[in-house]
Amino acid sequence: MTDLPIWYPPSGRGPGLVLVQEIFGLDDYLRSVAAGLAEAGYVVAIPELFRRTAPGWSSTHDEAGVAASMAVAASFDPVLGLADVLDAVAHLRALPSVSGGVGVLGFCLGGLLAFAAAAEGDPDVAVSFYGSTVARQIADLARVSCPIQFHFGGQDPYIPRSDVAVVEAAVAAHPGAEIHVQEEAGHAFHNHVAPMFHHPEAAARAWELTTEFLRRTLPA
């Protein structure tokens, strides 16, 4: 995947992170997350998951944008998407500017794929934000050998709190895994360009936990 958009840290080198998109595509939000992670010392790549059916997809962050994005996501092939994520991990590993390992970090659809990549591939660390069907696939946690961190909102209308509890129980029995639930937050609470979703306090707490986790497991 030689056409991957890549953000470089000020030093020009560091550990790699594959940032995996929400259904909104490669938008201003995802670009801002990539830029922040690069500033923190990571070489960040974002695979375009919808390139086969809706190349260049980016939507608004309102009800109309959600509906349009869900229609695009309905044609998404998760097997091919996971292959894209794992290809991006391999691409970063091969770059001379990347040293110290490669991790995956994803939101929503990307949160599910970050978990799947940790189970199917060989990232050095994984962070999964509100992956919608993680609970249904939680048996795959047994195949995850890298450190992994999960984030959920306790008021998520798309992911029942009972599903989050299933993930909590599995994580409690799995060394190297951790989970953090922002009980007052809903879905996509970290997305600061989506007023219908963003929860600033929950986002700040979750992101501090994320950056601390990365400092421990994939230090830049």
Environment class of 64 (CB within 10 Å of its CB; exposed 0-12, middle 13-18, buried 19+): exposed
CB atoms within 10 A of CB 101: 18
HEC sequence for 4-72: CCEECCCCCCEEEEEEECCCCECCHHHHHHHHHHHHCCCEEECCCCCCCCCCCCECCCCHHHHHHHHHH
Instruction: Give, rounded to a whole angstrom, the gap between the first and last alpha carbons of the chain.
Output: 24
- Structure confidence at residue 61 (pLDDT): 86
Burial class for 27, CB neighbours closer than 10 Å (0-12, 13-18, 19+)? buried
Per-residue pLDDT of the chain (220 residues; tens, 9 = 90+): 558 999 999 999 999 999 999 999 999 999 999 999 999 999 999 999 999 999 989 998 889 988 999 999 999 999 999 999 999 999 999 999 999 999 999 999 999 999 999 999 999 999 999 998 999 999 999 999 999 999 999 999 999 999 999 999 999 999 999 999 999 999 999 999 999 999 999 999 999 999 999 999 999 9
pLDDT at 202: 98
Q: Are 112 and 134 in contact (CB under 8 A)?
A: yes
Q: Give me the pLDDT at residue 1, please.
A: 54
Domains and CATH numbers, the chain: 6-217 (3.40.50.1820)
pLDDT of residue 216: 97
Beta pairing class for 98-107 and 148-153: unpaired
